[in-house]
Amino acid sequence: MKPAYKAAFLIPCNSKKTLSEDGWIIESPMRLSKSIADTICKKLKLAFKESYENCTIYEGHEIKATVIHDEKGEIEQIYLQLFRKDTETLKEALSNTTPDEVEIFIP
């Protein structure tokens, strides 16, 4: 049995969000800067776990981050699984980013 978690997405501002049968589809011509991923990993104490195809996975205490890249290697979005962590922890980690850089989307 998989443990329960809260999902959150870090996406470019003004992204189009559509709920499909397979889950959320997030579309944007913009990309996230590498510094956003670096900030999340540092502030949430995430360590590299594995990388495959267009995803890089980091894990920490009660949190897992999947960084999803496009075909050019740029960051499309960061999918987070928060196990017993609240979203305030995530918001605090991003407190130094500018509001027009990244949107925290919590379905």
Per-domain boundaries in the chain: 6-105
**Which one, of 106, 103, 101, lies nearest residue 82 by Cα?**
106
Q: What is the pLDDT of residues 9-34, one digit of tens each?
A: 999 999 999 999 999 999 999 999 99
Residue 99 has pLDDT above 70, yes or no: no
d(CA 107, CA 104): 10
Which secondary-structure segment (H or E) carries 90? Answer: helix 87-93
The highest-level CATH class for domain 6-105 is alpha beta
